[in-house]
């Protein structure tokens, strides 16, 4: 896919949604971190439902430590892998208090050193909380990148590196959210809604389909 086509794709996405953001509900970098950890193999809707009451009870790492692992489980038991997530979140809160004065660190290495935080989670926090131009490649972005021809790759990391290189710089900050929303609501897995896609004419999946 050439640069002009990539620029047109993101120009349209920007025009349709000038200020995109995550669908997870949060009011601080800490709440975002917890929400993203909870969202692994879970829907944003289910996380928001659980975190609404959780964050009313505890919205700082010190308060999570007082809540404890057993107390935390009561709030997130409707979310998949809640046992593992509870353990990791409490361990993470302890590190935040002991090593970061209760604050969420702003570097990838420090974030990935936290239990339950991998590269994708770190990228979401760096981008959404701290405004860094990162791309958190989830299943939606991986699918969209390969299907459209925007940044094809066999691994998540390969796709991430290609996106960072190929997305025009003026769109890089918000590209993560645009691509997730495109994959979540239009370029869906089983039967993409091509007819309602704003970049259908620029998508290489469409052209490949017509050629076969």
> Tokens standing for 212?
């076969």
Among 71, 97, 128, residue at a domain's last position: 128
CATH code: domain of residue 206: 1.10.1670.10
Q: Which of 44, 85, 138, 206 is labelled catalytic? A: 138
> Tokens standing for 131?
């405004």
| Catalytic annotation present for 174 | no
- Say what the pLDDT of residue 1 is: 80
- Say what the pLDDT of residue 188 is: 95
- Residue 52 domain-assigned (yes or no): yes
The answer to whether residue 9 scores a pLDDT higher than 60 is: yes
- Contact (CB, 8 A) for 83 and 70: no
Chain centre to alpha carbon of residue 101:
25
| Catalytic annotation present for 138 | yes
User: Which residues constitute the domain of residue 79?
Assistant: 29-128
Is there a single domain that holds both residue 207 and residue 148? yes
**pLDDT level of residue 52 (50, 70, 90 thresholds):** very high
What is the rounded average pLDDT for all residues in the chain?
Answer: 94
- Say what the pLDDT of residue 193 is: 95
Closest among 206, 199, 202, 201 to 12, alpha carbons compared: 199
Query: What's the total number of domains in the chain?
Result: 2
- Contact (CB, 8 A) for 34 and 51: yes
> Tokens standing for 121?
């989670």
Is there a single domain that holds both residue 101 and residue 157? no
Among 105, 128, 151, residue at a domain's last position: 128
Among 83, 111, 128, residue at a domain's last position: 128
Q: Which of 120, 161, 162, 191 is labelled catalytic? A: 120
pLDDT digits (tens, 9 = 90+) for 146-165: 999 999 999 999 999 999 99
- Say what the pLDDT of residue 212 is: 42
- Contact (CB, 8 A) for 136 and 183: no
- Say what the pLDDT of residue 210 is: 46
> Tokens standing for 27?
């009011």
pLDDT digits (tens, 9 = 90+) for 85-116: 999 999 999 999 999 999 999 999 999 999 99
CATH code: domain of residue 97: 1.10.340.30
Is there a single domain that holds both residue 109 and residue 144? no
Is there a single domain that holds both residue 36 and residue 87? yes
d(CA 188, CA 151): 17
């Amino acid at each position: 896919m050439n640069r002009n086509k990539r620029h047109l794709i993101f120009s349209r996405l920007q025009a349709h949604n000038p200020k995109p953001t995550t669908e997870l509900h949060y009011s601080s970098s800490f709440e975002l971190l917890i929400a993203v950890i909870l969202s692994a193999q879970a829907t944003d809707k289910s996380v928001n439902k659980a975190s609404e009451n959780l964050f009313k009870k505890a919205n700082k790492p010190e308060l999570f430590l007082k809540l404890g692992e057993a107390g935390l489980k009561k709030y997130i038991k409707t979310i998949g892998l809640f046992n593992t997530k509870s353990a990791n979140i409490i361990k993470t809160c302890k590190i935040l208090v002991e090593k970061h004065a209760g604050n969420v660190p702003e570097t990838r290495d420090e974030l990935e050193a936290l239990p339950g935080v991998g590269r994708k989670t770190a990228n979401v926090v760096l981008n959404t909380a701290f405004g860094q131009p990162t791309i958190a490649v989830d299943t939606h972005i991986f699918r969209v990148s390969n299907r459209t021809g925007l940044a094809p790759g066999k691994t998540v990391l390969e796709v991430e590196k290609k996106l960072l290189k190929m997305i025009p710089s003026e769109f890089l900050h918000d590209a993560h959210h645009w691509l997730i929303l495109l994959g979540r609501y239009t370029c869906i897995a089983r039967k993409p809604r091509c007819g309602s896609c704003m970049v259908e004419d620029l998508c290489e999946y469409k052209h490949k389909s017509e050629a076969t």
